[in-house]
Amino acid sequence: MTLLRSLKVMFGAAPTRPVCTPAAAAMHAAKREVKGAQRAREIKALHAAHRSHKWRNVRWATLIAVNLLFVVSFRFDVQLVEGALTASRVIGFHFADLNSALQVMLAFKHLLINLLIGTTTVLVMWWLLGGRTFCSWVCPYHLLAELAEKLHLRLAARRLVTDHPLHRGTRTVLYGVMAALALASGYTVYEFISPTGIVSRALIYGPGLALAWVGLLLLCEVFLVRRMWCRYICPIGLTYGLVGAVSPLRVTYTMENCLHEGDCRKVCLVPHVLECTKKSYAEDVQVPLGADCTRCGLCVDTCPTGSLRFTVKGLDKLL
CA distance 204 to 100: 18
More confident residue, 131 or 306: 306
Domains of the chain, by residue range, sit at 3-50+248-312, 56-242
Q: State the DSSP H helix or E strand holding residue 105, giving kind and residue range, or none if neither.
A: helix 98-108
Mean pLDDT, to the nearest integer, of 250-258?
92
The answer on pLDDT for 227 being more than 80 is yes
- Contacts of residue 93, defined as CB under 8 A and 6 or more positions apart, other chains included, come to 117, 118, 121
CB-count exposure of residue 192 (10 Å: 0-12, 13-18, 19+): exposed
CA distance 227 to 237: 13
- Contacts of residue 53, defined as CB under 8 A and 6 or more positions apart, other chains included, come to 301
Which stretch, 3-12, 75-84, 164-173, has highest mean pLDDT?
164-173
More confident residue, 171 or 88: 171
The answer on pLDDT for 317 being more than 60 is no
The answer on pLDDT for 318 being more than 60 is no
CA distance 155 to 218: 14
CA distance 21 to 200: 46
Looking at residue 202, its pLDDT comes to: 96
Beta-bridge mates of residue 312: 249
More confident residue, 99 or 150: 150
- Whether the model pTM is above 0.85: yes
CA distance 139 to 64: 9
More confident residue, 195 or 51: 195
